[in-house]
Amino acid sequence: MTPIDDHPLRYALANELHARPFPVAKAPCTVVFLAVKKPVQAVARDRNEDMAHLIDLLDRHGAQHPQPGATHYAGQIGRHWLKWEQHTEFVTYTAITQNVSDRPFNPADFEVFPQDWLMSSPGQRITSAMLRVVKRRDDEEVVTAFSEWFEPESLAVANVLDNSAVCASDFRIDPAGHMRFALFVSDGTGRRRTGRIIQRLCEIETYKAMSMLGFARVKSLMGRIGELDKRLTDLMVEMTDDATQPDELLPQLLSTSTELETLSARCSFRFGATGAYEAIVNQRIEVLREQRFYGRQTFADFMMRRYDPAIRTVKSTERRLQALSDRAIRAGELLRTRVDVQRSAQNQALLESMDRRADLALRLQHTVEGLSVVAISYYAVSLASYLLYPITKTGISKGMLTAVVTVPVVLAVWFAIRRIRRRLE
């Protein structure tokens, strides 16, 4: 039996679902997370630079290199377990070290990434975080730790995954430049579940930071969009004035429409990415299955109060920019309609003028035809008279002969010209 041929991408697509496994972690441990992004043209960046930067870190620990063209890597570097992932716009590094420092969120724990290696990064830090993962003893100890480690006003705490752990963060950058997350793991929670929680927390922070880039873009555009809105409104008001000529408004309208389209084109990717990242943030929080911890706000509550307004601003600006583009298109159509009406009126006047000229030409043609009959008849009568002069010997005078010939000749000439004109028509 001949086996069926497989599609060339069958195995690659199936393996893609398993290409980025969750980390495996056991409390107590320290997690150091770093996300790096180029400030401009991040999507079109040279991804070989990302790989070279990773290999530089691996070579410092004598670790094995990833496969050429790989987009993810996981392995041991010294006493740390490292996970590297390459995304569309950014690259992430997650390092897990067993046990925790005596000092909570010790900046020295971040030295798993050497200072000179960080300075040689092909991009810039979009976010970094430190996660302190410890065993959950009793709730009083947890509450005390939260009050010491985080800002109470913005603290978000939740019991996650059916009481598997309590996680917390205030989403503030500490003096060392990192976000802080605390994870108190309950007894009986396995290493894989702990790793999934760690992964979710890192993803929430990363995609939150990435989606806020859209908000920063919107803030920089608000002033210009307001100016374009006012300019477009003023142009439409001027269009209602019959004294204003379309030729005066057209260059201004074209300039405004072009700038609006340029803004839309430049922002379309960022707006789309912001929507996608926001969906990931909300989905990652949802899968944590949060339960309120001693009446404190959950991660979902924090995002609803602090994060969602920024995202709604981005979406509102996207809709406003689209509405302005649509208004510019409608204004152009109205202006084009006005120009068409004016052209129709001009064409009508031109046609009437042409009709008058054609009528004059026709009258002139009839006049010329009449004169032509006279002129041709004159010469024809002369020729006919010369031909009939021998008859005068019978006693008929030349004058009488000419008079007799004139009428038939004129009629014959008129009839011939008439016939020729009918054939031409």
* Sequential DSSP letters for 147-205: HHHS-GGG-EEEEETTTTEEEEEEEEE-TTS-EEEEEEEPTT--HHHHHHHHHHHHHHH
Same domain, 240 and 160: no
Strand 124-135 relative to strand 179-185, pairing: parallel
Please indicate, yes or no, if residue 417 is contained in any of the structural domains: yes
pLDDT tens digits for 93-140?
999 999 999 999 999 999 999 999 999 999 999 999 999 999 998 888
Rounded to a whole number, what is the distance in angstroms from the first to the last CA of the chain?
Answer: 84
Q: Domain of 222: which CATH number?
A: 1.20.58
Whether residues 76 and 167 share a domain: the answer is yes
- Do 233 and 116 have their domain in common? no
Residue 112 has what DSSP assignment? G
329 and 396 both lie in a single domain: no
180 and 303, same domain (yes or no): no
Residue 205 lies in a domain: no
Is residue 56 a part of any domain in this protein? yes
The burial class, CB within 10 Å (0-12 / 13-18 / 19+), for 221 is middle
CA 375 – CA 163 distance, rounded (Å): 120
Query: How much of the chain, in percent, has pLDDT values that exceed 70?
Result: 87
**Beta carbons of 280 and 307 less than 8 angstroms apart:** no
pLDDT along the chain (425 residues), means of 10: 77 74 89 95 92 95 89 91 94 95 94 94 95 92 92 94 94 95 94 94 96 93 90 83 72 85 90 95 95 94 94 94 89 77 77 82 71 68 69 66 69 72 67
Same domain, 387 and 287: no
Q: Which of 189, 220, 245 is the last residue before a domain boundary?
A: 189
28 with 150, same domain: the answer is yes
In a domain, 207, yes or no: no
The domain boundary, picked from 142, 157, 189, lies at 189
Residues 246 and 185 grouped into a single domain: no
Asked whether residue 53 is assigned to any structural domain, the reply reads: yes
Q: At residue 76, what are phi and psi to the nearest 5 degrees?
A: -90, 130
Give start and end residues of each alpha helix (H) in 288-307: 299-302
The pTM is what? Answer: 0.78
Last residue of a domain, one of 189, 222, 247: 189
Please write the tens of the pLDDT for every residue from 185-216.
999 999 999 999 999 999 999 999 999 999 99
Question: Rounded to 5 degrees, what are φ and ψ at 170?
Answer: -110, 0
- Same domain for 375 and 293: no
Q: Which helix (H) or strand (E) holds 122?
A: none
Q: Are residue 220 and residue 276 in the same domain, yes or no? A: yes
Residue 309 covered by a domain: yes
Number of domains in the chain: 3
Question: Do 238 and 344 belong together in one domain?
Answer: yes
Beta bridge partners of 286: none
**Full residue range of the structural domain in which residue 90 is found:** 15-189
Q: Which residues contact 215 (CB under 8 A, 6 or more apart)?
A: 274, 310, 311, 313, 314
CB-facing half-sphere around the CA of 7: CA atoms within 13 A: 6
Residue 6 lies in a domain: no
Shared-domain flag, residues 259 and 306 = yes
Please tell me the predicted confidence (pLDDT) of residue 424. Answer: 63
Is 200 part of any domain? no
